[in-house]
Structure 1
């Protein structure tokens, strides 16, 4: 196992630079941006899940003093182009949507028209006066209905509601089933959730008629791809659009693409030649913004008598909702590609089907592959149950070990620089797994059900360009940065990521400082302005640390080398390889130690800018550095989560007694930031399993449109999270960065679900769906008790 390298600046627990403005109330979010005389947009939304639009009468609304206009899908079609999602992917059907619906609405909360008024109050009042004539249609409200031969069509240009279908097989799964000692089938039902950022969506559009230029303020995770989309839909050039992304109050995947509301605001600001802003309220966010996670999975695993896996068949059905802002295979296929995780499985088959329904469209949500680890680890537990084996022994028997890496997964993904056996042993020791039977006996004496759940996580991070190409997903995985050392020696830097709480300003300052040999306090990282930052792919998929941090480190090393060349030229007799910048001062290697010279970074900067004749021959003036970096196709971090729970059989109430995670997330840039990401991801996963659920009734009405109905965990519902650090570097990335931030969601889901199953095992109960509400658990326990009474 590779040991962790000690660094000068990377790995220090420095306080977050961002927190000064956040904790003192000086953060700048969309609503903090003041625009005099700005008009406001508000949207009429459909009360029906599926209906034709026969006509829109805005005459009453237009009589209100202060209403500027009411604009429909017909109006916006003249101002914008449609969005067509049709990458050349086998099994994926092309779909297209207009900016606002013209003929038909596809979910309750779908957009119908936009009111522009001089203030938000008037705009909201005018909504109620717009009369829309609908003809309700039968909605498609669940996966079963979507698959029926005569089901209503969500999108009438398609022959069925099947949006995307991919199939793959490595080896001979059928033969494995024929030769197996046992074939075990398991099902896993993950429920629909939403991102629920603290700050809902919002934007401000400022059209400059004289310069024919749009300044667009919006909280986005991907400023440059967002600009590309917005310019194209408005039929402008990218030089005519500037994206300003200020502080963002949470995103979790909901703030990546250009949404229809934002495009409408931009188009109308251009049409009316006036500043317009929009702020989504919480109701709109819950019923009209993106959602995720509604999957139904089945595994059939072939095993020998000892629990060794011979072959695995995996099927996933995904409810994608009504609209495609992403290719339909984008989320579910990643699950299938990495499902086997840390286990040796030579024969593997997957069947991925994605269906349209009359619900809000899907978007990536923190850990879009979140179901992966639960499905694989739940399958491992099923093997142990069926064969009467210890679940730990089954895992260890099938696990990839260090001497077997790099290991080629059956989908062709390469697993390397991960330590699943080590983290498993570390987590088992931390929770005292061997003493669990004793703890279970004490719970039984208290008439409680006690269970322990293990989840080994292989977290996919980075998503380099080669991964996208192999997966048939359009996109690039590179990142771009620039670093500029100013004449006074202070350092400005920028990257094309969109921060939404990750602590980039702090962590990247440490990475740049490491590469340059300066203090992080000298560095300012600028993000969120598409005219300032270089074109990058944005924040998603836990790629920020690896792609962005890696790019910054390599760029800083370039800058460091130029500074050393200048210093060596000034010193004349000192070889370049004997020089090093430490804390902003050139040091020279003498007798095996670096000793300081009198040459500082500031002096070198003064020479580079103001005395170029003193530079080495062929060295250009100035200290500006630009670099793009395309990371490996995929890097992986790994962890083992173990959750121990008690269930009160009389009420179904579940209590998390302990939560331990052993984590290997590579080189840690800042321990405080990494711990925050780990805690936040685990909390999100646990909250989703225990409480969060978007519920649509049989008519397609969202019954969870308020925070009184859509529940989430608070601090009192969550356990103390114990983290065992077992980090090892990646050998193929700068600084050994692996990436992290989503694996905690995966591990929380898998370990909590497996713990609930463990607690109910004596009752022969299978807990195979979420959320784990007391009502659901109590019903299972009551049914089991009824069977035992017969």
Structure 2
């Protein structure tokens, strides 16, 4: 099944859910008519440039800005004390056992904590002047020892904490000791993931404008969650939310980097208020690589207690993560989710984890598309380790442990509930699609010829939409709900607004499809308005693959409610006792007569004119107008699933890796737009492969940043990626409004695990297991030739 919701014979709008509608936003993007932040001209705007630390850890002894301030066109040079006088400190202290509370000052005052940390900011009439003036600011630093690794000892990064261990959580459930005592084999595996960063095509930026007469701040910035950003700005600048408007224009990617209020944006807003002139800042690529959020630096060791035929009896996981110098999110947020969902698609009778998160003198970390990406690699790599140690086929081991439809609803050992997932089905579909049996036979022939080919699988159970109950259970303040307004104007034009914000996902199209489905309107009559806090109702924004399930779901709810009102009006005007047997499709009212749907002559536009301009024609007691605002709080967690299958070949003489085939059998529930779903799968797989094979935010042992440009930080190009075959195998979710599950992060999770397992399968049982991403040609060459490194 591809996309459509179950068909009960009722006419539906042709552009609704399940239709391969072209993305409406692409016309402006592909013809160069997009309106990104840099395209927005603001009269009298000043330009800001930040002066950043060249040291990973140092005291700020003095700052001399005299030469910079003397330059013509320079308006101000601020240091941490200036910012601190106008903005409050962020307190990150959710009540989670083992999590140390931390404070994040709005701007460093006494010391810097990583290369690229803020030291001063220069504001001038032009960007060129601001750049020159920033070079003229003289800062005297006193270096401190840097914490460049994950260790509790050494000088604390945060002077308010006794050590660099910021968080430590443990968990155990089931008879874990007994499981290991009676195991036929205990299999240990190690996994290490290098630090990565998001690399959006458009780096961060902001334009802030203070209207002193109205005492109102307008902020334009590419942000994935405009309403929470507004709340954060207002709270930290001493304003009410009614004094702040956040407008997000077209945004060139976010991937999690553009969710939180970071210090640069806070500083620019404070400057605009103080100087009473618009101030703008555009991040450069080098700044983005070294000083925007990083992600993923983790090391995990698993121990699996298994029977001789590969069945899991128990599992332990020890995890260490590096969160960097500051906590813009709870320190344990990403790492704990990895541990929570680690069992994935498998029956694990007993499980324990130990998760430690450290501060270091590196760029702060935050969520990156699939912040829990390593969970699937770890679990699937563990399954391959089990197969290798026991001399079993890796698919056979998976089959013996995978949850089946007969197990549903299934409650995992960590308390997560799986509803309507299909991991056994996607595994079999991927095995069949890639031709597994034939590939194994071909692999034996290739080995005899000196070729190293390998087959890797990765089954993903992807958490896609975090409901409020999840945050409550995790002890984290926040909500998972989403809100939308659907309204119809007198002409029949439909406006949809929602709290999510697009950064390339096609929301303008898919939300219009949900509105067309629920309302019965023509999709060409629907306009979607996103990214403006004065227009859209308060919502939680785009993150965690929640756009389709939470955003699309709440639009569908609001549209259905508004359709009910329209059909009540239609029934009244047709002199019917009720609206049963009426429907709206493609803007026309239809009536079921003797088993046939027939036109009534009424249209959505005609009903809208009556509702707005002739209220006396409405049913008695009905209020004029056509507008509905609805909210939807999803289940604690919604899960999608998929199985990735990857065929690779390693060139022994160079370590070069070729991906020969790549298959994804996936289940995301009802697809709003199958073409967009496939594109999201392709993009996520590409991101996962890029991270596993190329990306590394390298630091030296002294804490120096070594990857500050694309000369040093490699990202996959189109020519580096394989063709991706997508096999849909969708089962609707019974707990969401349209049966959607979400799916835009699972491709990252599956790609990381599938390619890793394929590489180790190619190396074969006689070579050491490679476990440190990224798997570069050098590391693969060393693995092939047994060279330590």
Using the size of structure 2 for normalisation, the TM-score is 0.98
Q: How far off its partner does 1:446 sit?
A: 4.3
Counting only pairs closer than 5 Å after superposition, residues 280-295 of structure 1 correspond to structure 2 as 280-295=283-298
Asked whether 1:766 is paired with 2:769, we answer: yes
Structural mapping, 1:85-484, within 5 Å: 85-143=92-150, 146-148=151-153, 151-484=154-487
**What secondary structure is seen at the aligned counterpart in 2 of 1:514?**
helix
1:547 corresponds to 2:554: no
CA distance in 1, matches of 2:5, 2:108: 55
SS at match of 2:571: helix
SS in 2 for 1:483: strand
CA contact (8 A) 1:447 1:648 kept: no
Structure 2 Cα separation of the partners of residues 142 and 653 of structure 1: 29
Q: Using the alignment, how far apart are the partners of 1:625 and 1:758 within structure 2? A: 55
2:18 to 5, 11, 17: 11
Tell me, in whole angstroms, the C-alpha distance in 2 between the residues paired with 1:705 and 1:253. Answer: 20
Q: How far off is 1:173 after superposition?
A: 1.1
* 1:613 match: 616
Shift of 1:512: 0.6
Kept in 2, the 8 Å contact 1:38–1:275? The answer is yes
Structure 1 vs Structure 2 CA RMSD: 1.4
Q: CA deviation at 1:575?
A: 3.6
Q: Deviations over 1:347-398 (max 9, x none)?
A: 1111111100000001100000000100000011111111111111111111
Check whether the contact 1:221–1:500 (CA below 8 A) recurs between aligned residues: yes
Q: How does 1:565-584 map to 2 (within 5 A)?
A: 565-573=568-576, 575-584=578-587
- Asked whether 1:564 is paired with 2:567, we answer yes
Deviations 1:385-438 (A, max 9, x none): 111111111111111110110000011100111111111111111110001223
Deviation, structure 1 residue 482: 0.3
Partner Cα separation in structure 2 for residue 299 and residue 267 of structure 1: 47
SS of the counterpart of 1:678? helix
Shift of 1:445: 4.5
Asked if structure 2 preserves the Cα contact closer than 8 Å seen for 1:763 and 1:781, the reply is no
- Offset of residue 4 of structure 1: 6.0
Moved more, 465-474 or 359-368: 465-474
Instruction: Supply the distance in 1 between the matched residues of 2:724 and 2:233 (Cα, whole angstroms).
Output: 42
Secondary structure of the equivalent of 2:772? coil
Specify the alignment match of 1:67 in structure 2: 74
Q: Secondary structure at the match of 2:333?
A: coil
CA distance in 1, matches of 2:449, 2:83: 64
CA–CA distance in 1 between the matches of 2:59 and 2:178? 50
Does residue 593 in structure 1 map to residue 596 in structure 2? yes
1:677 aligns with 2:693: no
Structure 1 residue 470: deviation in Å? 1.4
Find the aligned partners of 2:57 and 2:279 in 1 and give their Cα distance. 30
Look up the SS of the partner of 2:148 in the other structure.
coil
Cross-structure match for 2:704: 701
Counterpart of 1:731 in structure 2 is 734
How far does residue 288 in structure 1 lie from its aligned partner after superposition? 0.8
- Does the Cα contact within 8 Å between 1:4 and 1:728 map onto a contact in 2? no
Structure 1 residues 491-510: aligned runs within 5 Å: 491-510=494-513
Comparing 468-477 with 326-335, greater Cα deviation is found at 468-477
Report the 3-state secondary structure (helix = DSSP H, G, I; strand = E; otherwise coil) of the residue aligned with 2:622: coil
Output the CA distance in 2 between the equivalents of 1:439 and 1:40.
Answer: 61
Segments of structure 1 that go 5 or more residues without pairing to the other structure are none
- Does the aligned pair in 2 maintain the 1:443–1:646 contact within 8 Å? no
Equivalenced residues, count: 782
Asked whether the 8 Å contact 2:732–2:740 carries over to 1, the reply is yes
Q: 1:58 aligns to what?
A: 65
Distance 1:710 1:297 in 2: 24
Aligned-pair distance for 1:662? 0.4
Post-superposition offset of 1:764: 2.8
Do the aligned partners of residues 261 and 573 (structure 1) sit closer, same or farther apart at CA in structure 2, a change above 3 Å counting?
closer
Q: Secondary structure at the match of 2:536?
A: coil
**Contact 2:20–2:674 (Cα < 8 Å) also in 1:** yes
Looking at structure 1, the residues matched to 784 and 387 of structure 2 have their Cα atoms a distance apart, in angstroms, of 22
1:81 aligns with 2:84: no
Taking the aligned partners of 2:322 and 2:177, their CA distance within structure 1 comes to 28
Counterpart of 1:498 in 2: which secondary structure? coil
Report if aligned partners of 2:115, 2:362 keep a CA contact under 8 Å in 1.
yes
Bigger mean CA offset, 291-300 vs 759-768: 759-768
Tell whether 2:53 aligns with 1:46. Answer: yes
Query: Retained in 1: the 8 A contact 2:188–2:303?
Result: yes
**Aligned counterparts of 1:615 and 1:672: Cα–Cα separation in 2:** 41
Q: Is the 8 A contact 2:491 2:609 kept in 1?
A: yes
Aligned to 1:27: 34
Deviation at 1:499, TM superposition (A): 0.8
Q: Write the deviation string for residues 98-117 of structure 1: whole angstroms up to 9, x where unpaired.
A: 11100110001100000001
> Could you tell me whether the CA contact under 8 Å between 1:690 and 1:773 is conserved in 2?
yes
SS state at 2:661 partner: strand
SS in 1 for 2:142: strand
Deviations along 1:185-209, one digit per CA (max 9) or x if unpaired, are: 1010011000000000000011101
Q: How far, CA to CA, are the matches of 1:658 and 1:585 in structure 2?
A: 47
For the residues of structure 2 that align with 1:602 and 1:62, how far apart are their CA atoms?
Answer: 61
Deviations 1:29-64 (A, max 9, x none): 000000122110001100000000111000111111
1:129, 1:540 → 2: CA distance? 40
Aligned residue for 1:188, secondary structure, equals strand
Looking at structure 2, the residues matched to 446 and 346 of structure 1 have their Cα atoms a distance apart, in angstroms, of: 43
8 Å Cα contact 2:345-2:402 kept in structure 1:
yes
Find the aligned partners of 1:690 and 1:302 in 2 and give their Cα distance: 30
SS in 2 for 1:331: helix
Maintained 8 Å contact 2:426/2:666: yes
Report deviation, 1:650: 1.6
Instruction: Please say if 1:37 is aligned against 2:44.
Output: yes
Gaps of 5+ in 2: none
CA distance in 1, matches of 2:725, 2:152: 44
Q: Given that residues 568 and 578 in structure 2 are in contact (C-alpha distance below 8 angstroms), is that contact kept between their aligned partners in structure 1?
A: no
Partner of 2:661: 658
Displacement of 1:475 in angstroms is 1.2
- The residue aligned with 1:516 is 519
The answer to whether the 8 A contact 2:187-2:386 is kept is yes
1:472 Cα deviation from its structure 2 partner: 2.1
Give secondary structure in 1 for the equivalent of 2:258. coil
- Tell me what 1:622 maps to: 625
From the superposition, tell whether residues 573 and 108 of structure 1 become closer, same or farther in structure 2 (CA, over 3 Å): closer
Given that 2:5 and 2:738 are in contact with CA atoms closer than 8 Å, whether structure 1 keeps it comes out as: no
| 1:152-201 C-alpha deviation (Å, 9 max, x unpaired) | 11001111111111111111211211111111110100110000000000
Residue 545 of structure 1: SS of its match in structure 2? Answer: helix
CA distance in 1, matches of 2:445, 2:718: 27
